[in-house]
Amino acid sequence: MKNRTSTAARLGSFASIALVASVGLAACSSGSSSSGGSSDSASGGDVGVTLIVKTTSNPFFVAMEDGAKAAADKAGVNLTLAAGKEDGDEDTQIQAIENAISKGDKGILITPNGPSVVDAIQKARDAGLFVIALDTAPDPADAVDITFATDNFTAGESIGKWTAAQLGGKKATIALLDLFDDKVVSVDYNRDQGFLTGLGIDTADPEKNGDEAATGKYSDGDYEIVGNEATNGAEDGGRTAMETLLSKNSDINVVYTINEPAAYGAYQALQAAGKEKDVLLVSIDGGCAGVKNVSEGVIGATAQQYPVKMAELGVEAIAKLATDGTKPETSAGLDFFDTGSQLVTDTPVDGLDSITSQAATDICWGE
């Protein structure tokens, strides 16, 4: 992604991020919709907003739903919740978009499950709905009115730099546990490419995973990439992917994972193989369960995101648009609004900004 600003400028005040996240979580008391379904949150407002998440099997999206419900109650927005049956389920999301159009909603908040939803999003915009992507920008990015998300490249870069420092010049034998192998989404390639860049490995196509040189030099030594395997962002997918890559090379000592459910699945496979103490396992998410895994030494470092903040800002933006016509703006130098991220580790590195697992626990999003 071009025209990146400095990490400090993008992240802004960490204290303000903590405040927004903690306020959102304090208000998250109502239950989420079932996966694949939708339900109205009783706020009694005239402004209709539909939140469509990837799946409710991942706590990241449950937290996002709770943040949206709290913001909707505060703003007097009539909120509808919908979710794919699983990560990658585009059909259910498309149906939810069509339902939002039929109901005459003012806007849609969506974490796109894949490229097939883009045509439905355009249909919604043509009907006058304001569409905000959360967490995952569609391709192309301007398929929505704006995206509120983590700078996923920067998040990946931070765990890559941490990994390079921990290796201290030792050969890196790398397993990459990505999201999909049957579709291309920005969150997948940005995290993967950011990690490799942070590690000091030259990448090829910035929007494609797995086309780097299999061997070469990272910032402080030699590397070998054993392979890329899809996990679908799930624990069982992470376990299977890790088993597959270990069968190719049992000397793996660096494991990148797309998210923390996949990381925990990978850890189970490593543990079964007696390799868990020999591997630097890193991830991205910063959920309460993942942060606990950092404190327990299961995950060496993760990059914490703020899904509650994404949802709150999205609901507030559509409510404000309906009230006075004000549209949200992107962060300076970016084509999306950066909601921030923070490296979490209990093994800090000089010159690399991070917080401890205890500090991350205080602001993590729910189980």
pLDDT tens sequence across 279-324: 999 999 999 999 999 999 999 999 999 999 999 999 999 999 999 9
> Which residues constitute the domain of residue 282?
152-304+345-361
Predicted pLDDT at 45: 67
Predicted pLDDT at 253: 98
In a domain, residue 123? The reply is: yes
Q: Are residues 316 and 249 in the same domain?
A: no
Answer positive or negative: Cα dihedral of 306, 312, 315, 318. negative
All residue ranges of the chain with pLDDT < 70 are 1-45, 366-367
Strand boundaries in the chain, DSSP class E: 38-41, 47-53, 77-83, 107-110, 130-134, 146-149, 172-178, 215-217, 222-230, 254-257, 280-285, 301-304, 337-338, 342-345
Q: Are residues 270 and 159 in the same domain?
A: yes
In a domain, residue 133? The reply is: yes
In a domain, residue 69? The reply is: yes
Domain count, the chain: 2
The position carrying tokens 């790398």 is 174
In a domain, residue 12? The reply is: no
Q: Is the pTM of this model over 0.95?
A: no
Q: Are residues 140 and 172 in the same domain?
A: no
CATH label of the domain that carries residue 107: 3.40.50.2300
Spatial distance between the Cα atoms of 239 and 264, rounded to a whole number of angstroms: 8
In a domain, residue 334? The reply is: no
Could you write out the DSSP letters of every residue in 157-203?
Answer: HHHHHHHHHHHTT--EEEEEEES-SSS--HHHHHHHHHHHHHHTPPP
In a domain, residue 127? The reply is: yes
In a domain, residue 18? The reply is: no
